[in-house]
Structure 1
Amino acid sequence: MIKKWKKSGPEKVILEKFGKFSKRQYFVDPRDGSKQEYIFVGEQNSVGVVALTKDNKIILTEQFMQAANEVLVEVPAGVIDKGETPLMAVKRELEEETGYGSKNFKEIGKFMRSTRSIPTCSYCFLATDCKKIKNPKIDKEEDLGVIIKPFKNWVKEIEKGKTLDCLSVIATFLAEKHLKDE
């Protein structure tokens, strides 16, 4: 049976900036007692939302994503600020990025992007009956647009690999399954 590895010594922050981090942690391999070094990279925990209007259209964002070096269409998403719950964060992000809001949010799943090296959890939500409530409040580092299209068209685009964002892909398929099961 596989045993849990114990941490050896404190975690050391190598770099921390803009909510992103790089950390070093040593672990003891229980099989032979050797000390192994691991480097973790990541960011604060995050949220993403499949936000649907009353007529089943999805509200998406379009923005240049530096790591992908491409303009991508994605579900509204962002980091969970200190002191926020995932639900508080997803409501704030949807409003800030799109100007839409909803009274109907449901957490439909969560995942880690890489369980060996990225200790960051992403929470997926479904919001239904979304309505425009104000103008978006975009962060100065973001150049962001809002796209609204039929949910079924977005699912087809995801199936064809039209986005590289794993949070968007996972949240979309979790939402699709949830909607079919209702």
Structure 2
Amino acid sequence: MRSKPEILHRSIVAESRLFRVESVELRFSNGVERTYERLAPRGNGAVMLVALLDDDTVALIREYAGGIDDYCLTLPKGAIDMGESLADAANRELQEEVGFAARELTLLKKLTLSPGYMSAGLQLVVARDLYPSKLDGDEPEPLEVVPWKLSELPQLYAREDFHEGRAVAALSLVQLWLAGEFEGTRLL
């Protein structure tokens, strides 16, 4: 296995309310030097939830996605607040976006989005044994909760409004987990 490149210098080259762009000068083990730009790490990470209403039904949400300027079906997700545990963040986001809390939470895997340009990722958590509980969230409008059968995933994958790669990966991993072919770590 190769050793990681040596970091020669880092600097912030742009910043907005949401993003910081960092320039990173690197020297690779073969002596080649390159400058990479990436979104600089911020915050405490994020969580994405597969909320199982039963062993064949997942709670999707329909929300506005600013990056594509359209509404899409996806899984509930959100930032982990400062000082908040993963389990607390998962249950809070579940209550804000779906209107349920969970008695059972299982961490399946950390997923990254675009590791060539950002370090951010999210923790994929399965929520089971749900009960009604609603918290006010930070969304500008109420989210629509859309129950979907896992046995009908091919129809979901074919929809034009379901396209977030992390959600596709999450549902695939949950199917393996439910079949006993993938392990997770119990949080609650």
TM range (shorter): 0.7 to 0.9
Query: How many correspondences in the alignment?
Result: 178
Aligned match of 2:155: 157
Code of the residue aligned with 2:175 in structure 1: it is E
Pairing 1:31-180 to 2, within 5 Å after superposition: 31-34=30-33, 36-41=34-39, 44=43, 45-54=45-54, 56-134=56-134, 136-153=135-152, 155-160=153-158, 162=160, 163-180=162-179
Letter in 1 for 2:82: K
The structure-2 alpha-carbon separation of the partners of 1:129 and 1:140, relative to structure 1 and needing over 3 Å to count, comes to: closer
Can you give the 5+ residue segments of structure 1 that lack an aligned partner in the other structure?
Answer: none
Cα separation, partners in 2 of 1:151 and 1:129, compared to 1, 3 Å: farther
* 1:112-143 alpha-carbon deviations (Å, 9 max, x no partner): 11221111121111111222223x52315355
Normalising by structure 1, we get a TM-score of 0.85
List structure 1 runs of 4+ shifted beyond 4 angstroms.
none
Q: 1:147-166: per-residue Cα shift (whole Å, max 9, x none)? A: 2232323x223432641212
The question of whether the paired residues in 1 share the 8 Å contact of 2:12 and 2:20 is answered with no
Kept in 1: contact 2:48–2:75 (CA 8 A): yes
Percent of residue pairs bearing the same amino acid type: 21
Give yes or no for contact 1:53–1:131 (8 Å, CA) kept in 2: no
* Change over 3 Å in CA distance of 1:140–1:150 after alignment to 2: closer
- Please state which structure has a larger fraction of its residues in strand: 1
Partners in 2 of 1:89 and 1:24 — Cα distance? 31
CA distance in 1, matches of 2:122, 2:139: 23
CA distance, structure 1, for counterparts of residue 20 and residue 169 of structure 2:
24
Alignment CA distance shift 1:156-1:29 (3 Å): same
CA change 1:143–1:38 in 2 (3 A) is farther
CA drift at 1:13: 5.8
Q: Secondary structure at the match of 2:89?
A: helix
